[in-house]
Structure 1
């Protein structure tokens, strides 16, 4: 009876042993199929396994990135050695120091968007072999998010608060709140896709500090902006000031242009005068030499005059001397004798005797 009771246990053990011989290597971490991580973070890809008694060959563990046309190696383990000198060199490692113990899990450090892909863990111990795949997606968190106000911040105007992230993997959602904890104005509406918060007919109650949170599947970023709604400004005074400023600027510009033109004309005139000066032009005669030549010519004339025409010549002004501006060469002395008229004839002609003053050699009257 006791032997019959032991038969079911022996049969069950035999079935388990047969199953192990048939299955061989088995990967047990099959729950992890998809992983999403942020850029710069670390990811752990699971790969735990069990061996069968029938597996007698050397253990070989291989992680690859499955591509449409080939499998690109990431890290390997074979005969107690680790091979990781591939495209992720320095960023990938086995979690366990002894992967042969049944744990081929790896860590990938400092993730990059290009690390996204399908990763396959392959465990071989001939004649057994098993594989498992994990889909990894690397996203970039929203970064460099900026907030600003678009439009006039005056009472009664429509104001738009803008929010935008310069970096980050789509899709990015934007959400506005007030830092004071109050509700958004009733006349406001926000667009979570564009990051715009529109406030119609703004009033001073809308003045506050607003916060925008940008988020995607792997992270968030935020920024702040202060809205200060003020009464309308004096537009007439602003326009008048702008006009006056413009006219003043034009006046200064015109004065500057005038000064430049004047200076150019002066330089041009000086240049022309400089070219007109010639070295071969004789200097003008002095006033003394002009007067001396004039007196000498008059003395010659007096010496050749007869008493009949002395009366008319006596009326000539002796004190007039030609100026330097009007010069003429002295008259040439003609060598001819005036006609002599006898004294009786002069008397009949009505001539009046005139005393001719004596002259010295230098032409002065004695």
Structure 2
């Protein structure tokens, strides 16, 4: 067996075969090609092998002393939308074929059945057998052909099972099952595995699409669900586990988390806003206005008022009007202070609210302040005065 020639050569062989058929002269022997009745349409499973049966007879042959020679046997594959494809040729004792294609019997033989091995889906189509014979002298020829239909079937490939929806109590879910490859198209059946075995039918089951609708879920509906995809040549199955939960769904949990985060964000925003407003109210109060009036100074008595006419040293006490005993002292109010006639006291000052330290007031050239004397360790002493008579008082 040799490999098939290229397409141009195949076409040439076909034209040669048709030419021989056309030029075949009438003779007393007529060639007739036969196929089994009722086997013109064959089915086979992918991966298996099949035999396309065919044989020929010669009618009107005068005697066996004048045998007819088998000139050519050809098998062609016809597919819709594709060119005619030669799969096997036997011409003058030489056979050429495609891989997996052969004749059942060795030639020359009146049985020209074709064997196909390792079938694939692409091998489906119409197979035409053509036979040419001639007499022993090569003068008389005859031709005949027959066609057989072959359909290669594919069992369902293992399907994939999916769960569509959230299996919670009271909700609805859909179980989906789909086989990626099947010829003819697969039919689907859903059932529940033991110990709670159950078989489902329409309308909950869609046998064409492979879907099963489960409504108003409850906890007892949990279990293993099996899908079977089947056609006339095989079947395959898959399963999915359904666990019906009673707690809140992921959406509820996510909503609670998002709500908590939003609430915390709003609370933080309110705190920041309150702090900013408080700071804005404090800043104007701490600023010193340039046009503010200076505080009044406490009037002090003159030095001549501190000494009585009899020459006795007396103290002068000056105070502002007394406030309510339970009220706090007003800023800038002075308390009575013992003063000497020979001392110059500084004027009282209001405390500053801007945090700056008050500048010390330098004493006048004529005396030293009482605070300076205290820091130097001085002690107040009563000095006796002299009367006009010259005696001490």
Which range, TM-score by smaller chain?
A: 0.5 to 0.7
1:212 lines up with 2:227 in the alignment: yes
CA distance in 2, matches of 1:186, 1:108: 41
TM-score (norm 2): 0.49
1:104 lines up with 2:112 in the alignment: yes
1:76 lines up with 2:89 in the alignment: yes
Deviation at 1:83, TM superposition (A): 1.6
1:115 to 123, 140, 153: 123
Any conservation in 1 of the 2:52–2:114 contact (CA below 8 Å)? yes
Any conservation in 1 of the 2:31–2:56 contact (CA below 8 Å)? no
1:225 to 240, 245, 248: 240
* SS of equivalent residue, structure 1 residue 101: coil
CA distance in 2, matches of 1:207, 1:120: 57
Provide, for residues 305-350 of structure 1, a one-character-per-residue CA deviation record: whole Å limited to 9, x for no partner.
xxxxxxxxxxxxxxxxxxxxxxxxxxxxxxxxxxxxxxxxxxxxxx
1:174 lines up with 2:174 in the alignment: no
Give structure 2 stretches of 5+ with no counterpart.
1-26, 135-140, 265-393
Provide, for residues 16-72 of structure 1, a one-character-per-residue CA deviation record: whole Å limited to 9, x for no partner.
xxxx96544442534321123344433321113334535623342211124689643
CA distance in 2, matches of 1:226, 1:139: 32
Deviation at 1:228, TM superposition (A): 1.7
CA distance in 2, matches of 1:120, 1:215: 32
After superposition, the Cα gap between the structure-2 partners of 1:123 and 1:221, relative to the gap in structure 1 and judged at 3 Å, is same
CA distance in 1, matches of 2:122, 2:103: 21
Aligned to 1:49: 56
1:156 to 146, 159, 170: 170
Provide, for residues 216-257 of structure 1, a one-character-per-residue CA deviation record: whole Å limited to 9, x for no partner.
444332211111223233776554345567999xxxxxxxxx
CA distance in 2, matches of 1:190, 1:95: 48
1:65 to 77, 82, 85: 77
CA distance in 2, matches of 1:187, 1:232: 31
After superposition, the Cα gap between the structure-2 partners of 1:114 and 1:185, relative to the gap in structure 1 and judged at 3 Å, is closer
Deviation at 1:176, TM superposition (A): 1.0
Deviation at 1:134, TM superposition (A): 0.8
CA distance in 1, matches of 2:201, 2:158: 29
Any conservation in 1 of the 2:155–2:183 contact (CA below 8 Å)? yes
CA distance in 1, matches of 2:263, 2:183: 52
1:35 lines up with 2:42 in the alignment: yes
Give structure 1 stretches of 5+ with no counterpart.
1-19, 249-366
Any conservation in 1 of the 2:33–2:54 contact (CA below 8 Å)? no
CA distance in 1, matches of 2:186, 2:230: 5
* SS of equivalent residue, structure 2 residue 69: coil
Show the 5 A alignment for 1:1-366: 23-52=30-59, 53-54=61-62, 56-66=68-78, 71-84=84-97, 89-96=98-105, 98-126=106-134, 127-169=141-183, 171-180=185-194, 182-184=197-199, 189-233=204-248, 239-241=255-257
* SS of equivalent residue, structure 2 residue 108: helix
Provide, for residues 61-102 of structure 1, a one-character-per-residue CA deviation record: whole Å limited to 9, x for no partner.
211124689643210223332121xxxx21211222x14333
Q: Tell me the matched-pair count.
A: 225
Any conservation in 1 of the 2:127–2:147 contact (CA below 8 Å)? yes
Q: Which moved more, 1:234-243 or 1:129-138?
A: 234-243
Deviation at 1:164, TM superposition (A): 1.2
CA distance in 2, matches of 1:75, 1:130: 16
TM-score (norm 1): 0.52
* SS of equivalent residue, structure 2 residue 70: coil
CA distance in 2, matches of 1:77, 1:186: 56
After superposition, the Cα gap between the structure-2 partners of 1:22 and 1:242, relative to the gap in structure 1 and judged at 3 Å, is same
After superposition, the Cα gap between the structure-2 partners of 1:123 and 1:31, relative to the gap in structure 1 and judged at 3 Å, is farther
